[in-house]
Amino acid sequence: MQKVVLITGAVFGFLAIVFGAFGAHALKKILSEEKVASFEVGVRYQMYSAITLLVIGFGLDFDLRVARWAFFGIFYGTLVFSGSIYLLSFKEYLKADGLKFLGPITPLGGLLLLVGWACILLSIL
């Protein structure tokens, strides 16, 4: 499990750098400043999650159920939170009104991130 957590952290970090560069260069030409800023929030939280996963990958005992839940909360929370922000950033550009449903889903990703952080706290205690 430790290796999965570390690999996931490294992949999230790698992709955050790629998405950040993409946002800084390519997106400024096609999206409004507001949408680029929103996209950057997704990138920022993804990088926070990458660093967090690397730290817990080295620091937590994944024989404990709460440590595994910490990983799952951070992993799925990042996918839902950052992923929905990325897609919503492109909603107007793609003229995809069908993506409106993602607005209420973004906070669920935030809730999963909170679950992950609470589980990190519990595993330390």
Q: Within its chain, how far is the Cα of 81 from the centroid?
A: 6
Compute the radius of gyration of the chain from its Cα atoms: 15
Residue 92 near residue 35 (C-beta atoms within 8 A) = yes
| Interval 1-52: pLDDT, tens | 999 999 999 999 999 999 999 888 888 888 888 989 999 999 999 999 999 9
Q: What is the pLDDT of residues 45-78, one digit of tens each?
A: 999 999 999 999 999 999 999 999 999 999 999 9
Question: What does pTM read for this prediction?
Answer: 0.91
Structure tokens at 70: 């910490």
CB 108 within 8 A of CB 79: no
